[in-house]
Structure 1
Amino acid sequence: MSWIDQIPAAARAYLETNRLDEVECVIADFPGIARGKAVPAAKWERQQYFHLPNSIFFQTITGDWAEAATDGFTEPDMTLRPDLSTATAAPWTVDGTLQVIHDAYDMAGNPIGLAPRNVLKRVVELYRAQGWTPIVAPEMEFYLVAKNTDPATEIMPMMGRTGRPAAARQAYSMTAVDEYGPVIDDIYEYAEIQGIEIDGIAQEGGAGQLEINLRHGDPVKLADDVFFFKRLIREAALKHDCFATFMAKPIEGEPGSAMHIHHSVLDAAGRNIFCGEGGTETPEFFHFVGGLQRHLPAAIAVMAPYVNSYRRYVRNHAAPINLEWGRDNRTTGLRVPVSTPEARRIENRLPGMDCNPYLCIAASLACGYLGMINRLEPTPMFEGDAYQSEAEIPYSLSDALDLFEEATELHEILGKDFARVYSIVKRTENEEFLQVISPWEREHLLLNV
């Protein structure tokens, strides 16, 4: 069978009208950055795999190296093999280009436990061993901002088509969405060419802040879509002379950007195990909530992976600070949206959009899995404004890593070696940040202390 017969229909349709010039062989690192190689099409057709050093998982977001290798920094190669089901166009390129996600293996053919996609696959397999199929639906929030080429300059909202900067506090405004209609048009066009299904798009509460919802489905497929979507959105923005940013808190005084994750679980017959006879909530539903409440504090280090991530958790500012759960209550960290009983799901509202989608979805599923396996009971459902409840999550990356490093049950699910290296890399990033003197310090400490 030809490799073209094994790729998705959208990719085949793209090749019918575009001569294939290049294939981008990519894999996600810890931050979710695409690493890999661009290969000429003729070579791609003869190539079954390629190699990259495992050190790509030891890099911090700044490009420095964390001392995480157990046998010295020898940078042994990994074998990267293509998952042809992920092949998709890169429609912003001049020449015909496909992107293909690769999976990482060691020389003996074993999956590399540090690779984020493998971490998520590991968690999904644990569900399948119990006869369960996890289903997720991510919501992507992000900002369209003016080009920012000087890190010392504050990030500003983008200029709309009316010639005025995007305005804040215009949630769900169609007029606000029209302000950056040309960017959104290209997002839709690129997504259609790539075969990514968008479930909806809306203006959020921040200046130039948008939300895109993806249709529910397989966790690995949805994580792939988010991975591809971040690049797609960035390219659409650049075409219109602005930036797209997925920082958790890019603009001071504006709401942060989240990646809410909706969860449900199917049994072997395809029935939602959160829905019992007569539409009632099942023990599995409550145990899943209980697992999220018990283990999310330790998993926050994965869902909020940078120092900036913790600027998003502000009381009464569109981000949860608690682990309460409630029905149709957006002040709780865990929300049960309005739905039919058969479509009952649990929305985890804690993750930031700066997360690695593979790792974030894996960590969230791991918490729910531990809840169901250990039959953990949740607290009573919260009524009213949960922002008035006690804060229950860490408020800094350092505190979050303290909890993560003690979470041995979570390490067993995600992989012990992954947990070890992830913690070392994030500690290194935190230390790098502490060496930077901020404008606040210069303004208030320079002449006053």
Structure 2
Amino acid sequence: MSDWTENLPEAAREFLNDRRLDEVECIIADMPGIARGKAVPASKFGKQEYFHLPDSIFYQTITGEWGDAAGDEGFIERDMILRPDMSTATAAPWTGDWTLQVIHDAYDRKGKPIPYAPRNVLSRVVDLYRKQGWEPVVAPEMEFFLVARNLDPAKNIEPMMGRSGRPAAARQAYSMTAVDEFGPVIDDIYDFAEAQGFEIDGITQEGGAGQLEINLRHGDPVKLADEVFFFKRLIREAALRHNCFATFMAKPIADEPGSAMHIHHSVLDIDTGQNIFSGPAGGETDAFFHFIGGLQTHLPSAIAVLAPYVNSYRRYVRDHAAPINLAWGRDNRTTGIRVPLSGPAARRVENRLAGMDCNPYLGIAASLACGYLGLMEEKRAGPSFKGDAYEGDEDIPRDIGAALDIFDEATKLHDILGPEFARVYSIVKRSEYEEFLQVISPWEREHLLLNV
């Protein structure tokens, strides 16, 4: 092995196991969270310190068009310098040869981080915590659907065919029989995850037809966002092996629950290693209530990041396993902010608003930013909610346009995430929304064509 391969993470070295490495995929997450980059021969990767991609990859909408976010110099597609973070090197076990993936960070020509690169946005927020002597810890939960192959956008999405030969059934939350229906896909997910060195905390059947949830162990926010970024690709590849699609749309099937990326947060004191949400006697601290207060105060401004598409807002439906307000409660899954059952050392706050369609770097960054503002402003949480929060008033914008209006006014949130990121993000998302508004839907043709 060459020198650089000897210093790979353990899982990557075990994957290669003295085999000849053929290729390295040099990747970075764009604004939607799609992997962009280039594949290079392993021999070339070992000799290069960086590679270039144009900054325009961050101005692209989900459809491949561009938002007019290039700034004063215009759309000149300036090259960025992308440097590998070798701690992220991991297998691409679905490929036909021996391939590694390596996440890169984006810098300008002066060596400064590109402020609207999603991984840099999250790193910026984590650094703000650390400057206060805090270490943020997160644990994401990933919900997704396994669906039948769908090659016609005009056709409704349907559940995949299970091992029994019957379509996946709905309303089977936590059913092991339902999980067994997807056994071959899940086996490949486990095998791919093991090859990549990822630890899955558990897989469960959710309430939707063909809907599964994967829980990841808690840890460093950037590392966990990397894992979600990798996992989305991993799960899609596992599904394709079995003639189905994995989708992370927030609401792929009408009348079924949507898919969330619930984010659990805790914060440790760097010097002592103690959870700042718990006091010496194990009680809830002011910091615990301030963090929740920050979520309640600032999450409305962050919804455009946590719910980034028109489809995202179809998930926020009363009594459909998704929150409709910013109430918080202890062990209450109807609230937008939940405090799970735990001991003092593991006391944490769960944000249930983020959709699985959000960019994991940006979703985690925005959620942490709201909690950080609460800690710094010493915002006190309102009283905990008792009972069914679906009976309360809605606190969440009903569409991406309204959410972006609130986001654009949120200068405090911009200061945490980065003003240049906020500018670019808003432009790109408004461009997407304008593209959507040019599309005439089947509902409009059905009900308006002859009736108005």
Calculate the TM-score normalised by the size of structure 1: 0.99
Shift in Å, 1:2: 2.4
Structure 2: distance between partners of 1:189 and 1:205: 25
Instruction: Could you list the structure 1 runs, at least 4 aligned residues long, displaced by more than 4 angstroms after superposition.
Output: none
Structure 2: distance between partners of 1:7 and 1:429: 39
Q: Equivalent of 1:130, from 114, 129, 132?
A: 132
**Is the partner of 2:319 in helix, strand or coil?**
coil
Q: 1:418 corresponds to which residue?
A: 421
Q: Is the 8 A contact 1:173 1:203 kept in 2?
A: yes
Q: 1:64 corresponds to which residue?
A: 65
Q: 2:288 corresponds to which residue?
A: 285
**Is the partner of 1:277 in helix, strand or coil?**
coil
Structure 2: distance between partners of 1:18 and 1:251: 43
Q: Equivalent of 1:369, from 360, 367, 372?
A: 372
- 1:401 counterpart letter in structure 2: L
Q: 1:181 corresponds to which residue?
A: 183
Structure 1: distance between partners of 2:8 and 2:340: 35
Structure 1 portions without partners, runs of 5+:
none
- 1:298 counterpart letter in structure 2: S
1:238 matched to 2:237: no
Q: Is the 8 A contact 1:248 1:352 kept in 2?
A: yes
Q: Equivalent of 1:96, from 82, 95, 98?
A: 98
Structure 2: distance between partners of 1:150 and 1:234: 18
**Is the partner of 1:279 in helix, strand or coil?**
coil
Shift in Å, 1:301: 0.3
Q: 1:206 corresponds to which residue?
A: 208
Shift in Å, 1:17: 5.2
- 1:153 counterpart letter in structure 2: K
Shift in Å, 1:359: 0.3
Q: 1:52 corresponds to which residue?
A: 53
Q: 1:263 corresponds to which residue?
A: 265
% of aligned pairs identical?
Answer: 76
**Is the partner of 1:201 in helix, strand or coil?**
strand
Give the stretch that moved more between structures: 13-22 or 136-145. Answer: 13-22
Shift in Å, 1:7: 1.9
**Is the partner of 1:373 in helix, strand or coil?**
helix
Structure 1: distance between partners of 2:3 and 2:323: 49
Q: Is the 8 A contact 1:302 1:359 kept in 2?
A: yes
Which digits, 9 at most, give the CA deviation of each residue in 1:377-411, with x for residues without a partner? 11101111111111001010000000000000000
Counterpart mapping for 1:153-164 below 5 A: 153-164=155-166
Shift in Å, 1:365: 0.2
Shift in Å, 1:18: 3.5
Shift in Å, 1:19: 2.0
Structure 2 portions without partners, runs of 5+:
none
Counterpart mapping for 1:232-381 below 5 A: 232-268=234-270, 269-381=272-384
Q: Is the 8 A contact 1:19 1:95 kept in 2?
A: no
> Aligned pair count?
449
Structure 1 residues 240 and 17, CA gap change in structure 2 (3 angstroms): farther
Shift in Å, 1:341: 1.2
Give the stretch that moved more between structures: 10-19 or 354-363. Answer: 10-19
Q: Is the 8 A contact 1:10 1:193 kept in 2?
A: yes
Shift in Å, 1:136: 0.1
Which digits, 9 at most, give the CA deviation of each residue in 1:124-166, with x for residues without a partner? 0000000000000000000000000110111000000100000
**Is the partner of 1:381 in helix, strand or coil?**
coil
Give the stretch that moved more between structures: 175-184 or 13-22. Answer: 13-22
